[in-house]
Amino acid sequence: MNHKLSTTNDDLKNTDQSTVRFYIETLEIDRLSALPFFEAGEKSFEGMRYFWQNREKNFTLVGLGNAYTIESNEENQRYTNVENQWKQLLQGVDYENLLQQPILFGSFTFDPKKGVSDEWSNFSHANFALATHQLVIRNEKAYVNTHIVSKQNISEEQISKLLAERDEIIHQAQVKGSKTYAKPVVNKMTEPFKEEYLKSISNVTDAIKDGQADKVVIARSLALRFDEKVDPTNVLTQVYNEQPESYLFGQENGENLFFGASPERLVSVKDGQAYSSCIAGSIKRGATKEHDNALGAELLNDAKNLQEHQYVVDMITSSFEDTCSSYTVPESPQLLKIRDIQHLYTPVEGYLNDGATILQMVEKLHPTPALGGAPRGKAMEMIRQYEPMNRGIYAGPIGWLNAEGDGEFAVAIRSALLQKDQAYLYAGGGIVADSEPQSEYEETLVKFRPMLRALGGKLNDE
Ligand SMILES: C=C(O[C@H]1C=CC=C(C(=O)O)[C@@H]1O)C(=O)O
Ligand SMILES: [Mg+2]
């Protein structure tokens, strides 16, 4: 079934004030798998693809190519810039009559005040795209939107060329199906700045004891080298097979693939309702059910972890207080168990005030004290001062929004940046007055594990 929409947007004020034309066609298909579609897009769109799947596994998104990109490097304006450009682009577009709306997918870096550098030099502080070919799999049905955004008239020839390309990609994805891949071969693994990291934990706990902040999240990285260039579809397939309980994401940017499997929702908005999650406080999984339950019980009663958690609950609750007419927060945390780790978890939900948008919520919530600290401003200063690396998109918001304003953002933790034959993995932890360097170090090892496994590496204790 095909639904077409060709439209002209006179409201879009580009720098040269010209009119923008918009062509959208939605094709509904019975069966199409996400990663084979991602793979089939390699030939034409390598470096311009994305992949997303929500935790519940009932919403999957793949984008191939950029019909339109929105980037921003303005420190204090990046959320409003993205929001305004997206709204302007869609003004006058009758998307409500489409089977599937156009979707904007992308990410924000953790801290725009930290100059983008090192392995992150290709990334803007907000990187968003409307895909040329956008696959949505929702409730077992697949929809492929093809988008053209152009300042010139869109010709029939241009449209038929793109639709032929779409049909070829779908065909390839269907006939090839899901591939099985051998894991990448790791040649070398290093822990950059390990000593600096351990020292920073003592410095930060001292500063906290001295009353300079309540909580500060400090992170570090792990660097891998492979014997050859690693295929992005390979690592996404490993993550897909190995991390079914998490949000899964991958965003290509030229020769970079930022990817991960995060348990943590920053915010989702659906029909005026907002959902967030407080996830902070961690313990490993036990090898037996008994040991696992005992570790879980220990976590639920551990003062240091409960403190780490409470700062997050307080801050997210106050954001909902500001933006919602009503909201609910359970009184005490529950356990969230994923493959390698268990966390303290408190879900928060509420009804958004009229006019409040998902990107306003993202701006308000990011960074929660699960990734930044408390109080926020002081914690961010201390991260800039003590953390011996640049986080890039790690711990930043990643996700999507549609034309009506629904959308979802995860916190991009349990993540890594793949660059051809190299990868950087990132993990951190919440430092409070009682934190100890060695046990925080070990907590980061547990948090590295999912991405390390997907990339074919392992730690000494496995
Ligand atoms: C900063 C990370 O985790 C955060 C989320 C959950 C639990 C955390 C903790 O217990 O320290 C961290 O706040 C990370 O995975 O890199
Ligand atoms: Mg912790």
Residues 223 and 361 in one domain: yes
Domain-terminating residue out of 117, 142, 176:
176
**Nearest-angstrom CA–CA distance, 236 and 37:** 12
Residues 402 and 271 in one domain: yes
Residues 155 and 207 in one domain: no
410 lines ligand 1 (CB under 6 A): no
For residue 450, give the ligand nearest its CA: 1
**Nearest-angstrom CA–CA distance, 388 and 71:** 27
Domain contains 418 = yes
Residues 132 and 217 in one domain: no
What residue numbers bound the domain in which 354 lies?
A: 187-454
What's the number of domains the chain is made of? Answer: 2
Q: What does the pLDDT read at residue 15?
A: 42
Domain-terminating residue out of 176, 207, 232:
176
Domain-terminating residue out of 176, 207, 226:
176
Whether the ω angle into residue 333 lies within 30 degrees of 0, i.e. cis, is no
Q: What is the CATH number of the domain that holds 301?
A: 3.60.120.10
pLDDT at 17 over 60: no
Q: What does the pLDDT read at residue 425?
A: 98
Domain contains 459 = no
Domain contains 223 = yes
Residues 329 and 439 in one domain: yes
Give the residue whose CA is nearest to atom 11 of ligand 1.
429
- Predicted complex ipTM exceeds 0.85: yes
**Nearest-angstrom CA–CA distance, 411 and 426:** 13
Domain contains 461 = no
Residue 302 tokens, joined: 């551990």
Domain contains 182 = no
Cα 281 to averaged position of ligand 2 atoms, centre (Å): 4
Rounded to an integer, what is the distance from CA 378 to the centroid of its chain? 25
For residue 427, give the ligand nearest its CA: 1
* Spatial contact of 36 and 177, defined as CB atoms under 8 Å apart: yes
Residues 142 and 234 in one domain: no
Tens of pLDDT along 380-436? 999 999 998 999 999 999 999 999 999 999 999 999 999 999 999 999 999 999 999
Rounded to an integer, what is the distance from CA 437 to the centroid of its chain? 28
Residue 412 sits at φ, ψ, to 5 deg, of -80, 65
Give the model's confidence band at 371: pLDDT under 50 very low, under 70 low, under 90 confident, else very high. Answer: very high
Residue 259 tokens, joined: 């990817």
**Owner of token pair 């960074």:** 367
Residues 333 and 291 in one domain: yes
Residues 147 and 232 in one domain: no
Q: What does the pLDDT read at residue 19?
A: 76
Domain contains 247 = yes
Positions marked active-site: 215, 264
Residues 165 and 101 in one domain: yes
Mean pLDDT of 329-358: 97
Domain contains 249 = yes
Residues 69 and 131 in one domain: yes
Query: Which is the closest atom of ligand 1 to the Cα of 430?
Result: 11
For residue 429, give the ligand nearest its CA: 1
Residues 385 and 238 in one domain: yes
Rg for the chain, CA atoms, rounded: 22
Residues 277 and 385 in one domain: yes
**What predicted TM-score, i.e. pTM, was given to this entire model?**
0.96
Q: What does the pLDDT read at residue 179?
A: 85
**Nearest-angstrom CA–CA distance, 164 and 169:** 9
220, 279, 311, 444: residue to mutate for ligand 1 pocket, most atoms within 8 A of CB: 279
266, 295, 302, 371: residue to mutate for ligand 1 pocket, most atoms within 8 A of CB: 371
Tens of pLDDT along 89-115? 998 788 888 889 999 999 999 999 987
Cα 194 to averaged position of ligand 1 atoms, centre (Å): 18
Give the residue whose CA is nearest to atom 16 of ligand 1.
427
Q: What secondary structure letter does DSSP report for 256?
A: E
Cα 341 to averaged position of ligand 2 atoms, centre (Å): 11
Strands (E), 235-320: 247-253, 256-262, 265-270, 273-284
Tens of pLDDT along 24-54? 999 999 889 999 999 999 999 999 999 999 9
